[in-house]
Amino acid sequence: MEWSAGRTQVNSWNEWDPLRHVIVGRATDCHIPPNEPALEAKVPEDSDMRGMWGKRPQESIDRGNELLDGFAALLEARGIRVDRPDPIDFSQPVTTPDFHTGSQFGCMPPRDVLLTVGHEMLEATMSYRCRWFEYLCYRPLMQRYFEEDPRFRHEAAPKPRLTDADYHKDYLSEKIGVEKRLQWAADKHFVTTEEEPLFDAADVLRFGRDLVVQHGFTTNQKGIEWLRRHFPDHRVHAVNFPGDPYPIHIDATFTPLRPGLILNNPQRRLPEGQREMFHRNGWEIVDAAQPAHNSPPPLCYSSTWLSMNVLVLDPKTVCVEKSEVYQAEQMDRLGMEVIPVELRDAYAFGGGLHCCTADVYREGGCEDYFP
Ligand code: DAV
């Protein structure tokens, strides 16, 4: 079927084919949620956010929206169709028969919630209580896509119960220390237990027939097994990056740019034993450039490695955050055309250029890159 801008078609099999239609998140009403087990384990021990919760300062929300709107306009100016989520009232607490938490999170970043595989968009289980209802912000879009595209498959993974049994108690302490965290990461002892399948969509990278999934804080082995059974025509590979003391989401760690080329965070190298499928098929895994900043912006959950959280528009063109000059230089050396996009003041809402988007349509079909 030919691409036409007027009617939605959902189709995206990888991270690099020419992008035609995308969702860009919003900072509106974004909250710092109260403490809960999964967040406790993630917020860095020296973070300015520890113990804090409530709505984010309105000026920061306005600035975040200004940058996200600017990014959406830049994409539209290049002929890419952009949709936006509908925020709900994130100050509302979440109560289920199994847990209660005092507020929600926001509708940034969509990449965490929605996994597009071919004609399907799958709502992830999520692993934070404050993000349990985040899919609601995307339901108006899902309804529209369902009406407009007869091939579109709208799927939702089983909602998890997120009782205390989902979290390892030894992670719930203020002071663990980076050394112990690194040992735990090397031993694949993460905050989430194997009580039930858990995954965030941003732990999954799409390489045509192959899905590469990070096992870490936000995705457990049962979540990866659930994905394996849910996508029987795909090969699902579990990876982990022992150098990361706070392993959530793969997209500041491992960044495919085009067939045959992946950037890897030099502090979180893919272990030798997990490189086989890439090497055997002639793929190159190169160290990403250093971030331009020594620390994340205020009230930010993510690390400085959002420098490599780029959005590939096609195999020759990539959006890089404007201040990330070393990353831009490296892209240039690798033969990519770089589009600088100002986004750093929106990092605090949950991530960078890859995080703040979710694919709806990329050209191309399901290729086998690792025969
Ligand atoms: O390096 O803090 C951020 C990824 C956000 N989706 C990091 C991972």
Both tokens of 27, joined, read 């900072």
Annotation says 200 is catalytic: yes
Q: What residue owns the CA closest to ligand 1's atom 1?
A: 303
Q: Residue 307: CB within 6 Å of ligand 1?
A: no
CB 222 within 8 A of CB 28: no
Paired tokens of 231: 């996508």
- Both tokens assigned to 14: 């990888």
Nearest CA to ligand 1 atom 3: 302
Most informative mutation of 301, 321, 343 for ligand 1 (most atoms within 8 A of CB): 301
Q: What's the complex ipTM?
A: 0.95
> Annotated catalytic, 215?
no
* pLDDT value of residue 2: 66
Instruction: Read off the pTM.
Output: 0.96
SS3 244: coil
Q: What is the pLDDT of residue 1?
A: 59
User: How far is 111 from 63, CA to CA, in rounded Å?
Assistant: 21
Q: Are 119 and 11 in contact (CB under 8 A)?
A: yes
Cβ neighbours of 186 (radius 10 Å): 12
The reply to whether ligand 1 has any atom less than 6 angstroms from the CB of 218 is: no
Q: Which CATH class is domain 19-362?
A: alpha beta
Q: Digits of tens for pLDDT over the chain (371 positions)?
A: 566 767 899 999 999 999 999 999 999 999 999 989 888 777 777 777 777 889 999 999 999 999 999 999 999 999 999 999 999 999 999 999 999 999 999 999 999 999 999 999 999 999 999 999 999 999 999 999 999 999 999 999 999 999 999 999 999 876 899 999 999 999 999 999 999 999 999 999 999 999 999 999 999 999 999 999 999 999 999 999 999 999 999 999 999 999 999 999 999 999 999 999 999 999 999 999 999 999 999 999 899 999 999 999 999 999 999 999 999 999 999 999 999 999 999 999 999 999 999 999 999 999 999 99
Look at residue 337 in the predicted model and tell me its pLDDT. Answer: 98
CA distances, 33 to each of 28, 102, 187 (Å): 14, 7, 29
Ligand 1 atom nearest to 351, measured from its CA: 5
> Which residues lie across from 250 on neighbouring strands?
none
CB 256 within 8 A of CB 299: no
Q: Is 219 in the pocket of ligand 1 (CB under 6 A)?
A: no
